[in-house]
Amino acid sequence: MIDILWVLLCSGLVFLMQAGFMCLESGLTRSKNSINVAVKNLADFGVSAGLFWVFGYGIMFGQSGASWFGNAGFFPTFNGQPEQEVFFLFQMMFCGTATTIVSGAAAERLKFHAYLLLTLFISGIIYPVFGQWSWHSLALDNSAGWLESLGFVDFAGSSVVHSVGAWFGLAVILVVGARQGRYAENGASQRIQGANLTFSVLGAMILWFGWIGFNGGSTLALNDQVPGIIVNTVMAGVAGMITMVALSGLKNKIVEVELLINGTLAGLVAVTACCHVINAPLAVVVGGTGAAIATLASQLLDRWHIDDAVDAFPVHGAAGMWGTLCVGLFGQLDVIGTGLSRGNQIMVQLFGIGVAAVWTFGLAWTVLTLVNKVFPLRISPEDENIGLNVSEHQAKTETYELFQVMDYQARTNDLSLRVPVEPFTEIGHIATRYNHVIGAFEKRHDQSAEDLAHIYYVTEAIVAAVENQSFKANNLGIDEVAERTDELGSLARAIQQVVGIVEEREQEILSLQQRLEKLPKESDPA
């Protein structure tokens, strides 16, 4: 019963890794896409777990005879057999892990429904078939898969889980292309900064913790191998992190957060295949070299303009392949137990790595290229610019509403609109201050408009009076302007006074003319 409890506990730890991936990926992507990335990590687990129960488990571990995939065990019930139930649960978590790697690689550009389609493909076909080839004998009374029978060893899934997910993600990236703005027209690489690196660091730590169950539970029993496996796992992560600190410091003179995270994860991925057949010093070697290889792979992808949003392929693919090869390079042959010489074991490991690449990448790229022509996988440029949070889920955030109002006002010069304020939040505080500033600008703008109107009234009154030779103070129409207390009001009052004086003079002249007309005319001289 203790073995069942151990595997059950490790299943929970592997499930926790799903939360780690969510934190990691949403933190390494932009805030306008963070909700989309998070919900994809939730959705892909639900879809992959459901498919694994429907037919994935049957394909991977069902009785197959000489077939390359299982043909029994669909919709499993287990009938009260706890050993089989906990084995199913543990393997279900592995299927979810392989699937969610794709989410990070192709983040910020896939339609949500397209991503669900990809999830169906990898978790329903790609992963369980390759898993059958490599792990079929893990289930009780099963024969070895054809790769197993050759001597291929991948203890906890450096290739079966991590490389499969990474190769599939690479195929998706090549089909849909890079994100807008990732590479300039002249070919220069332009870094896209993640929105919340603190969240990403939390995700890496959750993943590291979950890896204890990922590797430790792969014994499927709480035996004397487990402590050594966990020690090797932790030390490989340590070595990957320290290696990346050194490489980042030498190259950039600073320690970049993303490199630190990816170095740690690459070390963990690399040791996953061989953690049961090496000792702690070799685990340090495997983890450190795995991180260095992941860095090299990341640089190559960038040089080739392949946009992997979170470096999923370098971390899970390149480091996963290296870790799988390390089984033959460093593993104790008597513990491996295949009966092969070291050279033959290395060759078999290389062959298994190649099979994973051809099966996963080859099939995925072919199928997705055809599907993309009929059902485009990528969102429109307009939706990508807005962000998938809104375009795919209508999930608006305070930040989005702030920028939406700012963009509208910049486009229309309409200062009457205000940002919705959510009290007691950072964005709410910013929105409040922004509304105050815009209110002051609007007031100043309205005052300026009123000043211009009054200047127009005064000018129009003077011009009309001169053109019409009509100087009547009551007809000027600038009484409202004259009520002002500033210089413009003084000018209006002065004009009224001048016009009033002119009007009085006109009245006096008119009076004099009338009086002159009434005087008797002098007689002509005789």
- Kindly report the CATH number assigned to the domain that includes residue 291: 1.10.3430.10
- 525 in a domain, yes or no? no
Between 458 and 29, where is the model more confident?
Answer: 29
Say whether pLDDT at 203 is over 90.
yes
Q: Are residues 11 and 132 in the same domain?
A: yes
Number of domains in the chain: 2
Contacts of 248 (CB under 8 A, 6+ apart): 254, 255, 256, 259, 260
What average pLDDT does range 338-366 have in this prediction?
98
- 389 in a domain, yes or no? no
Between 333 and 72, where is the model more confident?
Answer: 333
Q: Are residues 443 and 374 in the same domain?
A: no
Check: CB of residue 147 under 8 Å from CB of residue 134: yes
CA atoms of 292 and 319, how far apart (whole Å): 9
Q: Are residues 467 and 362 in the same domain?
A: no
> What does DSSP assign to residue 32?
G
Task: Using a pLDDT cut of 90, give the percent of the chain over it.
Answer: 67
- 223 in a domain, yes or no? yes
* 3-state SS assignment for residue 189: strand
Q: Residue 421: which domain range?
A: 400-518
Q: Are residues 368 and 432 in the same domain?
A: no
Q: Are residues 134 and 277 in the same domain?
A: yes
Between 354 and 514, where is the model more confident?
Answer: 354
Q: Are residues 376 and 439 in the same domain?
A: no
CA atoms of 427 and 398, how far apart (whole Å): 6
| Per-residue pLDDT tens over the stretch 96-132 | 999 999 999 999 999 999 999 999 999 999 999 999 9
Give the pLDDT confidence score for residue 124 in this predicted structure. 94
| Per-residue pLDDT tens over the stretch 379-422 | 999 999 989 998 999 887 666 666 666 666 667 777 677 766 66
Say whether pLDDT at 65 is over 80.
no
Going by pLDDT thresholds of 50, 70 and 90, the confidence category of residue 466 is low
Helix (H) or strand (E) holding 338: none
Say whether pLDDT at 526 is over 50.
no
Going by pLDDT thresholds of 50, 70 and 90, the confidence category of residue 498 is confident
Write the burial class of residue 131 (CB in 10 Å: 0-12 exposed, 13-18 middle, 19+ buried). Answer: buried
| Per-residue pLDDT tens over the stretch 470-480 | 666 666 677 77
Give the pLDDT confidence score for residue 488 in this predicted structure. 72
Between 186 and 266, where is the model more confident?
Answer: 266
Q: Are residues 378 and 352 in the same domain?
A: yes
Write the burial class of residue 43 (CB in 10 Å: 0-12 exposed, 13-18 middle, 19+ buried). Answer: middle
- 465 in a domain, yes or no? yes
Task: Using a pLDDT cut of 70, give the percent of the chain over it.
Answer: 84
Say whether pLDDT at 351 is over 90.
yes
- The tokens describing 355, both together, are 């099979």
| Per-residue pLDDT tens over the stretch 240-293 | 999 999 998 888 888 899 999 999 999 999 999 999 999 999 999 999 999 999
- 392 in a domain, yes or no? no
CA atoms of 54 and 46, how far apart (whole Å): 12
Q: Are residues 501 and 437 in the same domain?
A: yes
Q: Are residues 255 and 323 in the same domain?
A: yes
- The tokens describing 290, both together, are 């795995």
Going by pLDDT thresholds of 50, 70 and 90, the confidence category of residue 70 is confident
Q: b or e along 96-118 (b: 16 or more beta carbons within 10 Å of the residue's beta carbon)?
A: bbbbbbbbbbbbbbbbbebbbbb
**Among residues 76, 31, 8, 436, which one has the least CA distance to residue 200?**
31
Q: Are residues 121 and 212 in the same domain?
A: yes
Q: b or e along 409-442 (b: 16 or more beta carbons within 10 Å of the residue's beta carbon)?
A: beeeeebeebbebeeeeebbeebeebbeebeeeb
- 475 in a domain, yes or no? yes
Between 153 and 521, where is the model more confident?
Answer: 153
- 390 in a domain, yes or no? no
Say whether pLDDT at 464 is over 70.
no
What is the residue-averaged pLDDT of the chain? 88
Q: Are residues 23 and 108 in the same domain?
A: yes
Q: Are residues 317 and 349 in the same domain?
A: yes
Between 471 and 369, where is the model more confident?
Answer: 369
